[in-house]
Structure 1
C-alpha cells in the first residue's frame, strides 16, 4: 500500500475555507473579476460577466422555476459559454447538478432522468426533439432551452443561431409546452442573490459510462470536489500559473475530468479556458488554436493528440508558450506521447482517474515523468493493488487497484447494492482496473478487469497486445477483444486501422509473432476504417465484443 503525502492545509491550499462548490465560485468572482474566464467562438466572458449571468439565472431558478433547494437539475449541452453559467447558477441556487451527455439518445436520457429524479433541465435546443419524446415519463417540471449563440454579442448571436437552425439544419423540429428560453431567464434583474444551502452534501450526480449494464450515478459531495480540486492544484501549480494561463478545453465539460479541470480548478486559479464545442471537427479546432495569441496548456486524450499531430495544418498553431499538456480518459500510448512532444515541444503529463473519484487519483509529477505510467497518487490518497482475496499484492505485482481518499464518492445514487460492492467498509474504492505499483509509488494501469482475455487459463491484457501492434509503423490504432473458442475458452481478435493500405495481414501477423508470446498472438486480424469510440474518444472494446457476439449467435 502507498500513501501519498498529506494535502496541504495552509494558506490558499486549505479545503476548509469552502463549504460548497458555490463558495469556490464566489471566491473566483471576488478575486478574479477582471480576468477572462471562458472563451468560445471568439467571444470571452470575464469572471465578472460570469458572476452577473449566473446570479441572474440563479435568481430566476429560485423565483420562477418551481424547483427547491436540493432538487436535481440536468445540464445537457456541449462546450459552449452557457455550460459554466448554468453550473454556477444551479450551485448558487442550491440545486444538485446532473451533467448529461448531449449526444444521448432518448432512451439514455429517459434512464438518467428517471433514475436521478431530475425536476429541471437546461438543454441546448438541438437535443429538444429527444427530450420531447420522453418528457412525460419524467418528473421534469421546468425546461430551459438555449441556442448555441445565446451568450454571444449581437449581431454574432443572431447570425450563429440562424445559421445553425436554417442553414446547417442542426435543430430537428420540437415542441415542448411551457419551455422557457435562456435569454428570458437571464433577463431576470440582477438583484442581490441570497446564499442558499441545498441541505444535502451531494453537489453533483455524474453517470458512469455504463460499460456493464445501465449507467450508475456517482454521488460526488461538495467536499469530494473541493478536495480533488486542491489535490489537482497541488500537483499542477508548478506548471500552471494563476491568473495568467490560457488552457484549451476540447474534452466535454459534462465529463468528470474536464469538469474538474476547467469548471473547478481553472476557475479557482483565475485562468482562461477556451471551449471547443466539437473537438471531432479537427479542421475547426486547428483554426481556433491558430487564432489564439498564446496557448499555455491543453487538456486532451490519446486519440485527439494523434489526430492533431497528423493534421496537415498543425504547423499553423503556435505552441511556443505551452508548458502543460494533460492526458486523461484513456491510456496514453508511448508513440503518441513522443509524437506530441516532437510536434508541440511539450511533454504530456498522463494521469488517472474515475468518475467515482471526482475524478483525479494520480498524476505524473512535472519533474519526474515516467512514460507508460499514470504517476503516483495525488496528495492525501492511498492506493494499493489486491488479489482475488483482497490482499495487498505488494510492489511490482499485478492486482486490482483500490483507492482511498477524500475524493472517493459518497456512493451510487439510489443503488446501495452497487455501492456496497464497490466501496469496502473501511473506505477503499475498487476501481475494476488491473495495475502495477512500482517502488516509487508510480502506477501503471495494465487493463480493465472486465476487458481481461483468458486463453487456456492464461490472462491476456488487451492493452499489452495493442501497445505492440500500435508500435508498427503501418498501424494508426487498434483494439483487441476476446471471442469465444471451444478449445481455449477465448482467442484474440484484433481490429486494426492502417495508416495506409500497404500493410498486409501476413506482415502484421509476423510482427505480432516476433513481439508477443504465442498465446497472445491474435488468431484473427481485421482491417477496418475506424473504431467505435465514446464521445471523449475512448475506444469502445465493449461495442466490438457485442457486435462480434451478435454475429456468432
Structure 2
C-alpha cells in the first residue's frame, strides 16, 4: 500500500492505521470534502493527478499533448460510452476521438493518426480487428492500455490481438448498465502480492464496495468452481427498472442482491469465470448447452473459413418444444472462394468431431452477410431466431 483515502470523519482512524503499517501520514488523503492542510481527491482531480509528492500519475503518454487519447465508439447514452468517454474525462485530462459507430478500417486509421493510447473493446470488435486484412499492417505502438468487456473474450482472439501489442496485460471486466459500470475486473500482475494475478479465462475479482455470490437454482451458494448465477450487491447498483415492477422484483431482491442473469464459477482466490448468459443456454436431451462454446469451437477451425459466427436455439424436428443449436456464419475472404454447402459440411463435421452430441448443429448452418449486433457489439441472437422462425413458421410477434 502506498496511499490511503479516508472520509473526513474517519481521519483519526486512518492516521492510526498509517502509523501501524508504517505509511507516511502525508500519504493519507481525504476521499470527499476537504480538511485544511491535507490533500483531497478533488484536489488531485483538479491537478490532473500531477502532484509529484503523490506519485500516482504514470509517465505521460507519447502523444502530442502528452495526455491519454481514447476512441469513443459506444453511444454516449450507454453506460459504456458514458463511463469511458464522459465520466472518466473528469478524473484526468484526456482526448476522446468520437466516431458515429464502429468501423474497423476507420478505427485502424484513427489509432495511427491520433496515437491512441487506450481502447475499451468488446469481443465482437476484437474479432473484427484480428480478422481484417489490415490487422497485420497497423501500428499499435501507441497503445498502452486495452480493456475488454460486455461478453466473454475467447482466448484465441485475445492471443491473436496480443501478438501485435506490447502491453503486459489486458483490463478484462464484467459490467452491466444496472451496475452503473463494472462489477468485476482483472487485476494487474503483482497486486495483492500476486495472489489474484490475471488468469486465462478469468473475468477478474470484485471491484471495491461490491459483494458477490454464485448461486444455485434453489438459492443456495455453490461450491468453488461450481457453475451458478452471479449475484452482486453494492452501492452503485440501480434501484430497479422504470415502470416495470415485475422485472424489478425478479432482478432486484429485497436484501440488496441483484441477479445478473449470467452463469459464472469462482475459484478459491476469488477470481470469477464467465460461462454463459442464462437465457441463451440451451437444454438439449437434458444437457446444458452453451452457444458461446460452440461459437468458439467453430472459430477455431484451422482453415479460417469464417470471419464471424453466432449460435442460438431454434425449434428442432424431433421435438417442437426443444431448441437445438443453429449457427449463422459470415464467410472470410478465403471462405468466399468455396461453395456455401461445402463450408457448411466442413463446419458441421468439425463440430461433431470436437463436441458432444447435444452440441451438434442439429438446427443447421446458414451463411449470412453479417451478424446483427447492438451498438456496443453484443450479438442479437433474438433477431436471428425471429428471422428463422418467421421464414419457417410465419409471423413472429415481438415480446416486450
Band the TM-score falls in, shorter-chain normalisation: 0.7 to 0.9
Q: 1:520 aligns with which of 359, 364, 369?
A: 359
CA distance in 2, matches of 1:497, 1:26: 49
CA distance in 1, matches of 2:97, 2:41: 18
Indicate how the Cα distance of structure 1 residues 360 and 12 shifts in structure 2: closer, same or farther if over 3 A, else same. farther
User: Following TM superposition, by how much is the alpha carbon of 1:540 offset from its aligned partner in structure 2, in angstroms?
Assistant: 0.8
Cα pair 1:385 1:401 within 8 Å, conserved: yes
**Relative contact order higher in (CA < 8 Å, ≥ 6 apart):** 1
After superposition, residues 3-42 of structure 1 pair within 5 angstroms as 9=6, 16-17=32-33, 30-32=46-48
CA deviations 1:440-461 (Å, max 9, x no partner) are: 2221221111111111222111
Residue equivalent to 1:415: 244
CA distance in 2, matches of 1:261, 1:432: 24
Q: 2:325 aligns with which of 492, 502, 508?
A: 492
User: Following TM superposition, by how much is the alpha carbon of 1:430 offset from its aligned partner in structure 2, in angstroms?
Assistant: 0.2
CA RMSD of aligned residues (A): 3.1
1:355 aligns with 2:177: yes
CA distance in 2, matches of 1:240, 1:327: 23
Residue equivalent to 2:17: none
CA distance in 2, matches of 1:438, 1:239: 32
Residue equivalent to 2:37: none
Indicate how the Cα distance of structure 1 residues 427 and 529 shifts in structure 2: closer, same or farther if over 3 A, else same. same
User: Following TM superposition, by how much is the alpha carbon of 1:317 offset from its aligned partner in structure 2, in angstroms?
Assistant: 4.6
CA distance in 2, matches of 1:357, 1:439: 24
Cα pair 2:49 2:57 within 8 Å, conserved: no
After superposition, residues 202-213 of structure 1 pair within 5 angstroms as none
1:330 aligns with 2:187: no
User: Following TM superposition, by how much is the alpha carbon of 1:325 offset from its aligned partner in structure 2, in angstroms?
Assistant: 0.2
Q: 1:434 aligns with which of 263, 267, 270?
A: 263
Q: 2:224 aligns with which of 392, 395, 401?
A: 395
Cα pair 1:297 1:322 within 8 Å, conserved: yes
Count of residues paired in the alignment:
338
Indicate how the Cα distance of structure 1 residues 241 and 364 shifts in structure 2: closer, same or farther if over 3 A, else same. farther
Cα pair 2:316 2:323 within 8 Å, conserved: yes
User: Following TM superposition, by how much is the alpha carbon of 1:364 offset from its aligned partner in structure 2, in angstroms?
Assistant: 1.1
Cα pair 1:262 1:273 within 8 Å, conserved: no
Residue equivalent to 1:451: 280
Residue equivalent to 1:385: 214
Indicate how the Cα distance of structure 1 residues 245 and 332 shifts in structure 2: closer, same or farther if over 3 A, else same. same
CA distance in 1, matches of 2:59, 2:80: 17
Cα pair 2:310 2:328 within 8 Å, conserved: yes
User: Following TM superposition, by how much is the alpha carbon of 1:33 offset from its aligned partner in structure 2, in angstroms?
Assistant: 12
Q: Aligned with 1:412: secondary structure?
A: coil
Residue equivalent to 1:275: 97
Cα pair 1:432 1:449 within 8 Å, conserved: yes
CA distance in 2, matches of 1:301, 1:295: 17
Q: TM-score normalized by structure 2?
A: 0.76
Cα pair 1:250 1:300 within 8 Å, conserved: no
Moved more, 272-281 or 459-468: 272-281
Indicate how the Cα distance of structure 1 residues 536 and 518 shifts in structure 2: closer, same or farther if over 3 A, else same. same
Q: 1:245 aligns with which of 68, 74, 81?
A: 68
CA distance in 2, matches of 1:490, 1:240: 53
Moved more, 300-309 or 421-430: 300-309
Indicate how the Cα distance of structure 1 residues 369 and 13 shifts in structure 2: closer, same or farther if over 3 A, else same. farther
Residue equivalent to 1:504: 343
1:482 aligns with 2:286: no
User: Following TM superposition, by how much is the alpha carbon of 1:429 offset from its aligned partner in structure 2, in angstroms?
Assistant: 0.3
CA distance in 2, matches of 1:359, 1:388: 26
Q: TM-score normalized by structure 1?
A: 0.56
Residue equivalent to 1:550: 390
CA distance in 1, matches of 2:156, 2:382: 24
CA deviations 1:369-428 (Å, max 9, x no partner) are: 223221111122111111111111121111111011122112222333322221111111
CA deviations 1:61-97 (Å, max 9, x no partner) are: xxxxxxxxxxxxxxxxxxxxxxxxxxxxxxxxxxxxx
CA deviations 1:469-517 (Å, max 9, x no partner) are: 1111323221111112363422111111222234622221121112100
Cα pair 2:280 2:290 within 8 Å, conserved: yes
CA deviations 1:13-34 (Å, max 9, x no partner) are: 865449xxxxx99878843499
CA distance in 2, matches of 1:376, 1:466: 26
Q: Aligned with 2:164: secondary structure?
A: helix
CA deviations 1:227-262 (Å, max 9, x no partner) are: xxxxxxxxxx89897984333333332221231123
CA distance in 1, matches of 2:181, 2:241: 15
Cα pair 2:127 2:308 within 8 Å, conserved: no
Unaligned runs of 5+ in 2: 8-26, 35-39, 51-55, 190-196, 394-400
After superposition, residues 74-473 of structure 1 pair within 5 angstroms as 244-268=67-91, 270-292=92-114, 294-314=115-135, 317-346=138-167, 347-367=169-189, 368-472=197-301, 473=304
Indicate how the Cα distance of structure 1 residues 485 and 315 shifts in structure 2: closer, same or farther if over 3 A, else same. closer
CA distance in 2, matches of 1:393, 1:329: 24
